[in-house]
Amino acid sequence: MASEKRNGHRRVAIVRGLRTPFAKAGTVFANLTALDLGRMVVQELVQRSDLDPNEINQLIFGQVIPTLTAPSIAREVVLAAGLPKRIDAFTVARACATSIQSMVAGANAIALGDADVVITGGTESLSDAPIFTSRPLAHALAASSKGKSLPDKLKPFQKLKAKDLIPVPPAIAEYSTGETMGESAEKMAKENGISREEQDLIAFNSHQNAAKAWKEGRFDGEVMHVLVPPKYEQAATKDNIVREDTSLEALSKLKPVFDRRYGSVTAGNASPLTDGAAALILMSEEKAKALGYEPLGFLRSHAFAATDPGDQLLQGPAYAAPVALKRAGMKLSDIDLVEMHEAFAAQVASNLQALASKEFAKKAGFNAPVGEVDRSRLNVTGGSISIGHPFGATGARIITQALNELKRRNKNTVLCTVCAAGGLGAAVILERA
């Protein structure tokens, strides 16, 4: 697209992208918060890009598991990163598609002329997930804080039962169905006829592709090094989940997790709990030219969709992708690469099956199926199973990774999709020219 506007709106450029290494929860970033990780990646991105902070109009950041002491994570990132305090900021959440949402929100502001330069992204620390108290204990603590004497402060606790003292972890199940994501992925595998062999092959390819990308230096420019505080003696330089030495035989020996007797979803063909952060710099095409930046690519279209979480919870991409393609005026045959978030291999296989299915297209109200995705163009530098999945950061990771790979291959278009809790799905189409 040669013009700087589409449908009367300004064209939005993705100028730069950066992420921290993604680390398995409880490992190298165990003592860091989501704010720590978000601050680090934004500071480094601004410095590497040689961007004058005074040019930034807005920062939009997301987090899925909130930090209770810093719930407005976007504003806190601005302040902690030492950016000008006048920068407007707000926080978004769309489960695993959170940093897709932050990118789209920033792009909309630019397209409409409300901003010229926006930083977007997301951060997550599953090592620092909040632990809640029971409702009775919370009420007792609140009442105790109002007591004027020691007996007054102790009195509210006298009515508590032993069970009221048990900590309450964050919910890992869908509120509406009571099913965990893993249980839903297991159900999808059974209902869609996804074999254990296919799931393990998807996981194997993810690790092989990511390991090759690291070995060939493809991630060197998009993954920063983190000197881990407080002693700064340990450096995180790579994702620590990628397994170059994994094999189909090793994956096949892992036991199912969610249905131990008849299941096929294992720890090996699912994404692990992960810590990490990722960020993007967005600009209007005119602003990027004025500041001398060569964009990584441009946002051509986007779509969000939703389906019944009690049916196929993680099938959102199959509903969103056709809409994004239609809005872009494109077909799957026009797309050079496909990036699909790997929450579970069963979810990837189910969405690929749905995109090619006439029956699914009819059920979803589409005129025709999207088509068969060429597996050799899918997640060519690895996905969330091997790289990891910090919920709020995955979308920005995928966008940066996809655009850099397009440049290396001298290709032009990529379709990125993400499934999310609640039966949600996101899709964006990015182009280089």
- Centroid of chain to Cα 105: 15
Can 416 be counted among the known catalytic residues? no
Q: Residue 328: helix, strand or coil by DSSP?
A: helix
With contact defined as beta carbons under 8 Å apart, do 288 and 295 qualify? yes
Can 96 be counted among the known catalytic residues? yes
Domain that holds residue 89: 5-128+271-432
Cβ burial, residue 410 (10 Å; 0-12/13-18/19+): exposed
> 402: domain CATH number?
3.40.47.10
Q: Residue count of the chain, please give it.
A: 433
In b/e form, how buried is each residue of 122-139, taking b as 16+ CB within 10 angstroms? bbbbbbbbeeeebebbee
For the chain, the average pLDDT equals 95
What is the torsional sign of CA 206, 208, 211, 215?
A: negative
| 259 pLDDT more than 50 | yes
For the chain, how far is it from start to end, CA to CA, in angstroms?
6
- Residue 262 within any structural domain of the chain: no
211-238, pLDDT tens digit by residue? 999 999 999 999 999 999 988 899 999 9
What is residue 169's predicted lDDT score, i.e. its pLDDT?
Answer: 67
Amino acid at 345: A
- Residue 166 within any structural domain of the chain: no
299-326, pLDDT tens digit by residue? 999 999 999 999 999 999 999 999 999 9
Q: Which of 207, 302, 416, 419 is catalytic?
A: 419
- Centroid of chain to Cα 418: 8
d(CA 68, CA 125) in angstroms, rounded, equals: 12
What is residue 381's predicted lDDT score, i.e. its pLDDT?
Answer: 98
d(CA 209, CA 277) in angstroms, rounded, equals: 21
Can 341 be counted among the known catalytic residues? no
In the block, residue with structure tokens 């901003």: 115
- Residue 234 within any structural domain of the chain: no
What is residue 33's predicted lDDT score, i.e. its pLDDT?
Answer: 96
| 159 pLDDT more than 90 | no
- Residue 334 within any structural domain of the chain: yes
Q: Residue 26: helix, strand or coil by DSSP?
A: coil
User: pTM for the full model?
Assistant: 0.92
| 87 pLDDT more than 80 | yes
Q: Which of 96, 207, 302, 416 is catalytic?
A: 96
97-140, pLDDT tens digit by residue? 999 999 999 999 999 999 999 999 999 999 998 777 788 888 98
More confident residue, 31 or 167: 31
In the block, residue with structure tokens 């165990």: 30
Q: How many structural domains does the chain have? A: 1
What is residue 71's predicted lDDT score, i.e. its pLDDT?
Answer: 87
- The distance between the two most distant Cα atoms of the chain, rounded to a whole number of Å, is 75
Q: Which of 207, 302, 389, 416 is catalytic?
A: 389
What is residue 2's predicted lDDT score, i.e. its pLDDT?
Answer: 36
> Which is nearest to 81 in space by CA: 50, 107, 110, 45?
45
- Residue 243 within any structural domain of the chain: no
- Residue 61 within any structural domain of the chain: yes
Amino acid at 349: A
Please tell me the least confidently modeled range out of 3-17, 84-98, 247-261, 273-287: 3-17
- Residue 160 within any structural domain of the chain: no
Is the peptide bond between 230 and the residue preceding it cis, with omega within 30 degrees of 0? yes
d(CA 122, CA 22) in angstroms, rounded, equals: 13
What is residue 291's predicted lDDT score, i.e. its pLDDT?
Answer: 98
Per-residue pLDDT, averaged over 28-47, amounts to: 97
Confidence of residue 3 (pLDDT cuts 50, 70, 90): very low
With contact defined as beta carbons under 8 Å apart, do 372 and 223 qualify? no
- Residue 106 within any structural domain of the chain: yes
